[in-house]
Amino acid sequence: MKRSYKIRIVFIFFVFMLLYTAIIINLSRIQIWQHEFFTNLGDKQYSMTLTKNPPRAAIYDRTKTRLLALNKDSISAFIVPNNLKDADGVKRFLKKHFPDAATRLTHSKDQKFMYVKRKLSDDQITLIANSNLPDIQLLHEPNRFYPLDAAAQIIGITDIDNQGVAGIELQFNKQLAGTPSTVTLEKDARSGRFYFKKETTIPGTLGTPVYLTIDSDLNS
């Protein structure tokens, strides 16, 4: 009887030792051998990198005081497809109100960033704000505004990304646009806020204004 009891004690002891050893090996694997892998995985889940363009520089007439092209903010909406808290809710909402975005989402599930729509109307902004879907975020973006219609052919235009495609906007695009900066956003896993830390990893440079020889009074 005593011998069988001792055998059971020894058996239990070895079982616990095996379990303890397995735990130690697993912790070592996670913290030492695969530390870089799990660190990268965590970063992918709770951080994202955005390229942010500086506000486009203005275009002035010969007086250097009257604006011929300036920035006017618009509101865009975006999501992070690979980290949606309420994926089903977002899909239903997009399918009903933004069908084009819903289609793009089916091919972008692993992406870190996707625009829902840019240059939202006031009604669309209100619709998203009242949707109770924290996965859909609003973003301020600068867009071009031209106060003098008569100078439109000279000044030109920019595309949806605020890059020059015609006229002075195209000819001096590099000077007006400046260089973009890279921003890293880190998400707080415990709260509903999109990020709690914002860090500029690559600083950009501001664009330089362009001064023309035309007189806006003569063209108005």
For 42-100, write each residue's pLDDT tens digit: 545 556 677 778 889 999 999 998 999 999 888 999 998 988 989 999 999 999 999 99
Q: Are 114 and 137 in contact (CB under 8 A)?
A: no
Among the listed residues 155, 154, 174, 153, the one whose alpha carbon sits nearest the alpha carbon of residue 163: 174
Return the pLDDT at 219.
Answer: 57
What's the chain's average pLDDT? 81
Q: Are 69 and 155 in contact (CB under 8 A)?
A: yes
pLDDT in tens, 134-170: 999 998 888 899 998 888 889 999 998 889 999 999 9
Res. 194: pLDDT tops 80: no
Per the DSSP assignment, residues forming a β-bridge with 181 are 52
Here the tokens at position 144 are 């071009």
Whole-number Å distance between alpha carbons of 74 and 191: 27
Q: Where exactly are the structural domains of the chain?
A: 46-219
pTM exceeds 0.75: no
Place of tokens 């989402």: 105
Res. 172: pLDDT tops 90: yes
Res. 191: pLDDT tops 60: no
Backbone φ and ψ for 48, nearest 5 degrees, come out as: -150, 155
Whole-number Å distance between alpha carbons of 212 and 175: 14
Q: Confirm or reject CATH 3.40.50.300 for domain 46-219, answering yes or no.
A: no
Whole-number Å distance between alpha carbons of 134 and 157: 34
Here the tokens at position 32 are 């030492």
Backbone φ and ψ for 212, nearest 5 degrees, come out as: -90, 170
- Which residues touch 49 (CB under 8 Å, ≥6 apart)? 112, 182, 183, 184, 185, 201
Among the listed residues 171, 172, 169, 151, the one whose alpha carbon sits nearest the alpha carbon of residue 159: 169
Cα-Cα-Cα-Cα dihedral of 196, 200, 204, 207, to 10°? Answer: 30
